[in-house]
C-alpha cells in the first residue's frame, strides 16, 4: 500500500555514512555500493554529507565528489539530499549552489551553530539559501547540537517560501511539530528514530535515519505496517527496533561511529574515534537479536 502522506522526498530516508579508505581518504567505490544496497533494501532516498556523513570533517570538494558518485550509482529516480549546513551563511549558500550543480534533488540545511543567532537571523539565513538555488530545502531543527531552535513561529513564516518544503525534526517537541504541520504544508521527517512512529502517526512524512544504514528494511517495515492500517503490527515492529536504536544512538557513541562499526565501513575522521572491540561486539549482539526476532 502506498502512503498517502509521503513527503516530497519519499518516506524512508537514510542519513548515509561517508566511507573512507584505511588511509582516511574518500572511498567512492564503497559509497556507491552502500548507496545501491540501501535503495535495494527499502530506502526511498538518501541524505549525504549530514551529521552521520561526517560533514564537519569533509572538504567542500569531497562533498561534491560524493554526491556525483552516488548520483551516478543510483540514477536520476532516487531522491538525493545534500547536507549544506554550516555556521557561515555565505559558505552555506556556496555549498548549496555546488550541491545543486552536482545533482542534488534537495538540500538539508541545519540551523547555524555556535553563534546562536536570534530567530530573525535564523529566518534570514534559511531564506538566503532558499533564494540562492532552485531546489527545495529541508530545514534541520536539532537544538541539542546547534544550541538554537527553529521556533514554531519561525517555521510558520518560513513555510511561506515555495522552496522550503520540509523539516528534519530533532527538537523533541511533538506538540510544536503537530501545530506546524496543521497550519502549513511542511513535510516533517523524524530525525530521531524513537520518534519515527509517533511523528508519522500524527501526520509526519517519514524519517531520516542513521540506523537505516544497517537495518533499512526493519526501519521501513514499521511505516509499511502503519500504512496498511495495522497499527498494532507497526507498534510491534517498532518495539523490535528499539534495542538497536538505543545501542546505536544512546550508548555514548555517535551514530556515525556505531554505524561504521556494524558495517565495517572504514575509519571515522578525528576528532571521532572508532568503537572499541567491546562496544562493537555489543552492537553486533543487539543487531543479531533484531534480525532473529524480526524473522
Q: At what angle do helices 277-294 and 216-227 cross, to 10 degrees?
A: 40
From the candidates 63, 113, 114, 168, give the one annotated as an active-site residue. 168
Read off φ and ψ for residue 197, nearest 5 degrees: -70, -45
> What are the cell numbers at 11?
518516506
Q: Is 260 a catalytic residue?
A: no
Nearest of 82, 81, 150, 151 to residue 113 by alpha carbon: 150
Contact, 89 vs 54, CB < 8 A? Answer: no
Distance CA 244, CA 294 (A): 12
Q: Is 168 a catalytic residue?
A: yes
Distance CA 185, CA 164 (A): 10
Residue 173's Cβ-count burial label (10 Å; 0-12, 13-18, 19+) is: middle
From the candidates 63, 113, 114, 140, give the one annotated as an active-site residue. 140
Give residues with Cβ within 8 angstroms of 28, minimum separation 6: 65, 66, 69
Q: How far is CA 176 from CA 100, 125, 141, 253, in A?
A: 31, 21, 12, 28
> What are the cell numbers at 157?
513564516
The distance between the two most distant Cα atoms of the chain, rounded to a whole number of Å, is 50
Positions marked catalytic = 140, 168
Amino acid at each position: 500500500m502506498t502512503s498517502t502522506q509521503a513527503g516530497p522526498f519519499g518516506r524512508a530516508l537514510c542519513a548515509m555514512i561517508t566511507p573512507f579508505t584505511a588511509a582516511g581518504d574518500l572511498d567512492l567505490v564503497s559509497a556507491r555500493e552502500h548507496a545501491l544496497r540501501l535503495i535495494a533494501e527499502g530506502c526511498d532516498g538518501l541524505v549525504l554529507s549530514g551529521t552521520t556523513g561526517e560533514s564537519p570533517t569533509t572538504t567542500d570538494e569531497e562533498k561534491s565528489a560524493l554526491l556525483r558518485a552516488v548520483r551516478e550509482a543510483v540514477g536520476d529516480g532516487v531522491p538525493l539530499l545534500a547536507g549544506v549546513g554550516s555556521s557561515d551563511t555565505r559558505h552555506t549558500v556556496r555549498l548549496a549552489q555546488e550541491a545543486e550543480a552536482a545533482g542534488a534533488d534537495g538540500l538539508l540545511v541545519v540551523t547555524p551553530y555556535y553563534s546562536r543567532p536570534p530567530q530573525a537571523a535564523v529566518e534570514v539565513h534559511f531564506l538566503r539559501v532558499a533564494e540562492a538555488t532552485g531546489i527545495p530545502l529541508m530545514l534541520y531543527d536539532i537544538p541539542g547540537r546547534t544550541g538554537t531552535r527553529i521556533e514554531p513561529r519561525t517555521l510558520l513564516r518560513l513555510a511561506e517560501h515555495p522552496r522550503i518544503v520540509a523539516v528534519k525534526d530533532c527538537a523533541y517537541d511533538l506538540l510544536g511539530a503537530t501545530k506546524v504541520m496543521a497550519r502549513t504544508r511542511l513535510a516533517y521527517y523524524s530525525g530521531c528514530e524513537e520518534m519515527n512512529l509517533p511523528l508519522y502517526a500524527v501526520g509526519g512524512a517519514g524519517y531520516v535515519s542513521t540506523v537505516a544504514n544497517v537495518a533499512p528494511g526493519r526501519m521501513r517495515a514499521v511505516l509499511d505496517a502503519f500504512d496498511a492500517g495495522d497499527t498494532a503490527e507497526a507498534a510491534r515492529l517498532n518495539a523490535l527496533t528499539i534495542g538497536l536504536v538505543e545501542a546505536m544512538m544512546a550508548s555514548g557513541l555517535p551514530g556515525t561511529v556505531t554505524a561504521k562499526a556494524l558495517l565495517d565501513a572504514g575509519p571515522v575522521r578525528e576528532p571521532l574515534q572508532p568503537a572499541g572491540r567491546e562496544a562493537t561486539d555489543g552492537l553486533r549482539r543487539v543487531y543479531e537479536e533484531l534480525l532473529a526476532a524480526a524473522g
